[in-house]
Structure 1
Amino acid sequence: MKLSVEYLIPKYQDNLYQAAFSVLQNPADAQDAVQTTMIRYHYLNQEFEDEEHIRKWLFKTVINASKDIRRSFWRRNKVSLEETMASIEFERIQDQSLFQEVCSLPEKYRIVIQLFYYEEFTIQEISQLLSITQSNVKKRLSRARDKLRNVLEQEDEHVN
């Protein structure tokens, strides 16, 4: 099974962008990672079992492309996190605060939070996507939650 890129782009583009952004924290680079992923898929001569298999391949590829871009010496079009935050509209102020705190986490925690909570991948799927053990995924999720909880509790204390 191989679905058309025309079908996949509108369906997965935003989610792939969010996963790439969680690694790169740069809108232009995240867009490049998504574009690279779609181009690789288009030229790939591989049959997939089903759409879920394609989805997993897309996320694994966009994460790897993001890591490649991050390691690249020539990271262009850098935009600060503050500029990016100013361009995103949030329904509630709490959502913005949570987003800022997630973005401030180290990458290894950001990516598991993104994949688990926003993309709804299972622990096992995240383990496969990131090529780490399931216990490592659980540990990273737990540590990320602890860090977020501590920061958000401190913010609540300041507000009250």
Structure 2
Amino acid sequence: MEIIQIDKKQQLEYLVNKYGDMVLRVALTHLRNLTDAQDVCQEVYIKLMKHQNGFNDAEHEKAWIIRVTINTCKDITKSPWRSWLTPLEEIPLTDNHLEDNEIISIVLTLPRKYRIVIYLYYYEGYKTTEIGKILNLKENTIRTQLRRAKETLKFKLNGGFGDDD
């Protein structure tokens, strides 16, 4: 019995090391709040350890984890006690390059549906068909959201002012 516990512990450590940064980035992109994003990470790994069905391959495992992360973020945003007031300055940016930080800051000002599509497309390298499957949306919807997000980013990067939320 103790051997199973060690195996579970080792498996969890492996999964945290493999997906920890990605889960945190997805949650932070979605929620724009580090504390809530860290709570989501914990919930995702609890759900992963309770998940009894195996995965077909590594991509299936990764997609499942992203989907669970997004759903957990949605649960948090639906919570009645959740405060929506998080100053953008409080969001920790991991990259030390000033230009990249500016872009990340602008991406974080996009509406949620655009932030997550931009993240999955550019940072995780998913194709629009794959993003559609992960988010349970049609591929054309993903392409439209991606195009609109790019247009909004271009406008904001060129000095545009305005709140598109």
**Shorter-normalised TM-score: what interval?**
0.7 to 0.9
Query: Is it true that 1:154 corresponds to 2:159 in the alignment?
Result: yes
Q: CA RMSD in A?
A: 2.0
Deviation at 1:22, TM superposition (A): 1.1
5+ residue gaps, structure 2: 1-7, 161-165
Change (3 A) 1:20 1:89: closer
5+ residue gaps, structure 1: 156-160
**Residue in 2 aligned with 1:8?**
15
**Residue in 1 aligned with 2:33?**
26
Query: Is it true that 1:55 corresponds to 2:84 in the alignment?
Result: no
**Residue in 2 aligned with 1:158?**
none
- Give the Cα–Cα distance (whole angstroms) in 2 for the partners of residues 20 and 88 of structure 1: 14
**Residue in 1 aligned with 2:135?**
130
- Give the Cα–Cα distance (whole angstroms) in 1 for the partners of residues 111 and 148 of structure 2: 11
Q: Which amino acid is 2:62 matched to?
A: R
Aligned 1:100-111 pairs, distance under 5 A: 100-111=105-116
Query: Is it true that 1:41 corresponds to 2:48 in the alignment?
Result: yes
Percent identity over paired residues: 36
Deviation at 1:89, TM superposition (A): 5.0
- Give the Cα–Cα distance (whole angstroms) in 2 for the partners of residues 65 and 94 of structure 1: 31
Deviation at 1:90, TM superposition (A): 3.5
The number of residues matched between the two structures is 152
TM-score, length basis structure 2: 0.85
Deviation at 1:92, TM superposition (A): 2.1
Q: Which amino acid is 1:137 matched to?
A: I
User: With CA pairs under 8 Å and 6+ residues apart, which has the higher RCO, 1 or 2?
Assistant: 1
Deviation at 1:97, TM superposition (A): 1.0
Deviation at 1:154, TM superposition (A): 2.2
- Give the Cα–Cα distance (whole angstroms) in 1 for the partners of residues 54 and 77 of structure 2: 29
Q: Please identify which structure carries the higher helix content.
A: 1
TM-score, length basis structure 1: 0.87
